[in-house]
Structure 1
Amino acid sequence: MDTELRHIAVVGDCPMMRHGLCHLIDSVEDLSLVASCASISDFDISTTPAEIVILDLRLPMRELAGIVSGRLGSDRCAVVVISDPVQIDIASIVRAGVRGCLSRRADESETVAALRVIGSGGTFVSPDLTSYLLVDAGLLTDRERQVLELVAKGERDRDIALLLGVSENTVHSHLDRLRNKTGCRRRADLTRFALQQGLTYRSTVP
């Protein structure tokens, strides 16, 4: 496990949720709470050494996207938005720079895992939000999409490697990133995700 300390700020307008997140972060050795605010107007990114900002604000996705790309627009600041599944325009906040989408149903272990993945430079989407995620939002690379399509087609890792002209280890790396990005740990779940997104093998891989 990557034990580098991650500095996290929590901005949330629900006191109970905000306090629960702060308590969780304080209880994990490799996470450090550096700020807790009830509104984005109370949060000053210029004076807060936060690498990850958790936003839990009951705002339309368009407004959240504006906050991310405007007020929080910084290469050093990964952003996690805690979202309800009814807010399905995840694409707009992903394009704005959001690195993770956590469902309000996420438990403590999923939340900590997400923060570690995002803190290490990855992206994370809760499993119950993946069906709302638009693949063309840019969350998946072209190669990851090709690997996912071939998984959905039922190809084995060795066959995927041959079709793509890469090593089997490279395929495993792509699958690891797909699992982190989609939250789908089992191959069957990746297949289900691909089908939900309408991804089918198009025979266009090199």
Structure 2
Amino acid sequence: MTLVSVVEDHPLFRAALARVVEELPGVEAGPVAGSVEEFLAYRAAAGGVVLLDLHLPGLQGAAAVLALSAAGHRPLIVSAQSGQADVLAALAAGARGYLTKSADAAEVGSAVRQVADGGTFVSATLAAFLLDSAGRRHAGPRLTLTPREREVLALLAEGERDVDIAEALVISVRTVRSHLDRIREKTGHRRRSELTRFAIGEGLLARRVAA
């Protein structure tokens, strides 16, 4: 079962989010805390999903994401009024996706499942942020990834497994892994989470959403 915890300083919303987590199938409810420091004091098992507000007492924003990621957790942002810069900084620090506080239980459940499976949850709001960020980015030296490598990387960033990428692109799993090996050599990133952040920074997910 996936351990899902909540870090939110607003008591009413924290309780409501905790109830949503308790009702999700295939989920074990983890610690519920009002700050990152309080959550880390519980010493929850690494590998779980943490629903995280960005504006908290103590550690907050990208620093909060870094602290949770360093402890082996998978932060999933749930925030009401975070600006584009805050959200993109959190993603660069290791957040696995972004939800607004208007998300319903079904969307929370979908996001939790994708993050628990090693993917990234791209909500409509996050997609808009990514598209805008890609449009504002200045041209400059870029790594030379082939069109096929960029397709493979984009699908990986969406949380697809090697076998799913192979099926989507009508190539063999062995070929997918060869592409991934070359992507790792070119980017210097080894982990799928690092490659996901790289893909976001390159605007690959933004272009797939636009398409």
TM-score by length of 2: 0.60
- Count of residues in correspondence between the two structures: 152
Post-superposition CA distance 1:50-92 (Å, at most 9, x none): 5111112425xx94111211x2133731110113465111221
CA contact 1:11–1:43 (8 Å) conserved in 2: yes
Note the residue ranges of structure 1 that are not aligned, 5 or more in a row. 148-166, 174-180, 182-189, 196-206
Amino acid at match of 2:7: V
Identity of aligned residues (%): 25
Task: After TM superposition, give the deviation of residue 45 of structure 1 in Å.
Answer: 6.1
1:143 corresponds to: 151
Per residue, is there more helix in 1 or in 2? Answer: 2
Amino acid at match of 2:150: D
Amino acid at match of 2:28: S
1:194 corresponds to: 210
1:39-118 equivalences under 5 Å are 39-44=35-40, 47-49=43-45, 51-58=48-55, 63-69=60-66, 71-74=67-70, 76-84=72-80, 87-89=83-85, 90-118=87-115
Could you tell me how far apart the structure 2 residues matched to 1:39 and 1:114 are? 21
Task: After TM superposition, give the deviation of residue 14 of structure 1 in Å.
Answer: 1.2
Could you tell me how far apart the structure 1 residues matched to 2:100 and 2:5 are? 18
Task: After TM superposition, give the deviation of residue 31 of structure 1 in Å.
Answer: 1.0
Amino acid at match of 1:115: V
How large is the RMSD of aligned CA atoms in angstroms?
Answer: 3.4
Structure 1 residues 191 and 53: CA distance shift in structure 2, 3 A: closer
Structure 1 residues 29 and 97: CA distance shift in structure 2, 3 A: same
Amino acid at match of 1:171: L
Alignment of 1:20 with 2:28, yes or no, is no
TM-score by length of 1: 0.61
Counterpart secondary structure, 1:72: helix
Task: After TM superposition, give the deviation of residue 20 of structure 1 in Å.
Answer: 1.0
Structure 1 residues 65 and 172: CA distance shift in structure 2, 3 A: farther
Could you tell me how far apart the structure 1 residues matched to 2:40 and 2:30 are? 12
Could you tell me how far apart the structure 2 residues matched to 1:32 and 1:88 are? 31
1:6 corresponds to: 2
1:173-192 equivalences under 5 Å are none
CA contact 1:25–1:31 (8 Å) conserved in 2: yes
CA contact 2:4–2:49 (8 Å) conserved in 1: yes
Could you tell me how far apart the structure 1 residues matched to 2:117 and 2:151 are? 21
Could you tell me how far apart the structure 2 residues matched to 1:85 and 1:130 are? 16
Amino acid at match of 1:7: L
Could you tell me how far apart the structure 1 residues matched to 2:170 and 2:28 are? 32
Counterpart secondary structure, 2:151: helix
Counterpart secondary structure, 1:112: helix
1:131 corresponds to: 128
